[in-house]
Chain A
């Protein structure tokens, strides 16, 4: 018995019809495969590229920073709507602590989207050694929570991320500029006249030249003392579970706490716009490829319905229902989509492997990690099959509605 006993009637007929028109079937599967391969390759490439960019941007910064609002001048009114003076002078921005930062940190940590909250002191200082001096951005932090936001231990190229009251961590560029190595001392002075001498215990590379020459890390209490902010914190750094929710969560926190909340999306607006433009372009490419795949399947099935109209007529004369005829052609669309997606996903995977093998940085390292997501594979298979079913609907309906008398007469 050649007919498969466990396959329903419609499946057997659909398979046989596709097998019989094998050249037509092979051509359309090739067409679908190329489309699916493009989708798989482009998606993995763009996802990898975006993840790499976002990772690079977020390596050296928190997802959200909570700060005290800048001081503003309030004009004096002589009467409603009339200023006493038209000359307003911008005030000097005093270095201030977040009021009740401990309770704010607890309140913010309760927000489900928030992953880590870390207090910090952030200010500018002058670093000197002999005749060399550099202005730097000092970040005083508590290692345990802060390293969950910026994984400094992973970024160390010399020494270790050891933060004590007398230690300082500096970037590779700054170390070169100042001519220091591990164990050397640096004088650090702030605007309020405080001067400290600290030991270099670690040299890091954040993957960004600017950050490596500008940022230094000291202990939280050391920074409090340096900037005269005993018991205070000028910044609360936050990370979230979903980096792309940063702006929404920042606005929520701003409403909740009254503090200024700057998300990484806002501070890197141009970069984020580029990421969004890439995503939109990728979606558009997917849509147009899916459309061309769908129309390809539909056109093949329309031809098949015309070619098989007499067979459809005789099947109907044998007592086969309109529903069965409809399912036979829908299945053909689904099977073409599925088979094309299977081959296309393999082709896309192979293209990714080749891309990673041949596209390298100047130093021979991988440009960025590309992962072949199994979820993407499943999504592709399901979506391609659904596209096939959808594309087959019109030809299938046409087949089901064929008048058997007209069909047999041809």
Chain B
């Protein structure tokens, strides 16, 4: 063998190979480093797996799923926050009532955001069967508020009420995933989307709905529908004709 660590190499680096590990680190860094394409390929694959794993858990965030994983963190948070939540509700109710009640907290009013927060905080705890009904009722309430505002020709209030739909719809999917009547929820979401569309047309005076609160509400309803439909298609047997 003509090249077994030639003496010339040793002369180039007095610390080589000694107890000073610098030479070894340099060699590892120089001759064992990955190339950028290698790292990129592995990253792409790992990221795809990461996304797939979390897409699955996103659809199973509700408390009755007794699996380990990110859902657990949400559950722990929900349990820890219950007493804090109650205190928050009491404080907000006091503030809202003190500021003039419904008039000050109606759609578009200064305290409307607070009212929304109070209503969402007062929902039954995650995992309780009544929660899904309450969430769907909130969506209906927003639509009723928007319709009432349009009757008063208060477009600002109508937009505010429609703008709140997206926030309420976001909570529906995790609770509906485990519900026995997912198909009924899908129908309800379709009806809500049709109602939003009609309200949007009225809001824009017959023009096309592009952007703003209406589009946001439609996007949220469509997204919720798609997520729920993907679960329902995989597991059609759990469906029941009973509505929520």
Q: Do A and B come from one complex?
A: no
Enumerate chain B interface residues (CB-CB to A < 8 A). Answer: none
